[in-house]
Amino acid sequence: MRTGTAMVAVLAAATAVLAGCSGKVGDSGSADTKRIVLIPGVANEPFYISMQCGAQGEAKKLGYQLDTQAPTQFDASLQTPIVTGVIANKPGAILIAPTHATAMASPIKQARDAGIKVVEVDTALDDTSIALSSISSDNTKGGQLAAQTLAKLVGDKGPVLVINTKAGTSTTDQRAQGFTDELKNHPGMNSLGVQYNNNDAAQAASIVTATLAAHPDLAGIFATNLSSAEGAATGLRNANKLGQVKLVGFDASPKQVEDLKAGTVQALIAQDPGTIGVDGVDQAVAALEGKPVTRTVRTDMIAITQTDMDANSKYFYKSKC
């Protein structure tokens, strides 16, 4: 018994020393202000891997620890328990890509109310009062850019389809809206509407197959993200319509880059997820150190075609750091 008590005392003393070193005061329940947790939309996906690489590098540079915890699918019901678990561990800040603009509000608010600094990376909540800062591409503009790019490819005429991922994803909803708005400036093109693939490439391929059966004159497709674009390319390949139906896809995963090189996809709107990660850490650290925080930070986005792909390879996403 006595040995046990002594060991507890030694452990408590050691914990206190460690706490002093790291800024952690485990038992008292206050936050570890040197630790930041990144919660991406989904695990093992090149957009978020690139974001994590940027965030990790920046955190190291600034003397912070960055941990990453991602759901296995892009789904609020899987991301919510991750946020709840992270709150219990009390990091100083979280960088989060909310998987739904309203469904993630309550768990993220709980994090904020627990004293954790919240920074949104890529996606955002509709309620702008919860996060301190949001870092993303200008997604509405990205959708407009996709429409302008597709208009050139189809000679400004014919039926076009939008393949979106999941309704309620702030970024891709804005891209679809930007695309639809810009189509008003291209009266020769008519929209066949927006279809959702549930962030699943196989579903995007099936949407293409079904659309081609009903509209064999389909001229072009705008795929609003990585899974939509990878799947749409597969659908066109299956239907033997490669190059005939023009495809513009958001993002630049290794597979999308291969598809661009092969001529399966005519243009990619690449984002800069590495910089989103870097800027996210910078804003979180500013908040933790009591410095001014920027509420909205916009990162780069670029339309890449086969002819300029080599010059723009810095925008290609990574599958590991």
Residues near ligand T6T (CB under 6 A): 41, 45, 47, 122-123, 169, 171-172, 225-227, 250-251, 271
CB of 149 to ligand T6T, least distance (A): 16
What residue ranges in the chain does DSSP mark as E strands? 32-39, 65-68, 91-96, 117-121, 133-136, 158-164, 189-196, 220-223, 246-250, 267-271, 296-298, 301-305
Write the CB contacts of 307 (distance below 8 Å, at least 6 apart in sequence): none
With contact defined as beta carbons under 8 Å apart, do 34 and 63 qualify?
yes
Smallest separation (angstroms) from ligand T6T to the CB of 148: 19
- Using the minimum distance from each CB to ligand T6T, give the nearer residue, 149 or 169: 169
Nearer to ligand T6T among residue 149 and residue 225 (C-beta): 225
Q: For residues 170 and 211, which CB has a smaller minimum distance to ligand T6T in the complex?
A: 170
In angstroms, the CA 255 to CA 246 distance is 17
Our CB check for ligand T6T shows the closer of 158 and 168 to be 168
Cβ 43 to ligand T6T shortest distance, Å: 11
The rounded distance, in Å, linking the Cα atoms of 67 and 52 is 9
Matching residue, tokens 């990376």:
121
> At its nearest, how many Å lie between ligand T6T and the CB of residue 84?
22
> Where on the phi/psi map is residue 159: left (φ > 0), alpha (ψ -120 to 50), or beta?
beta
Q: Closest separation between CB of residue 48 and ligand T6T, Å? A: 6
**211/271 with CB nearer ligand T6T:** 271
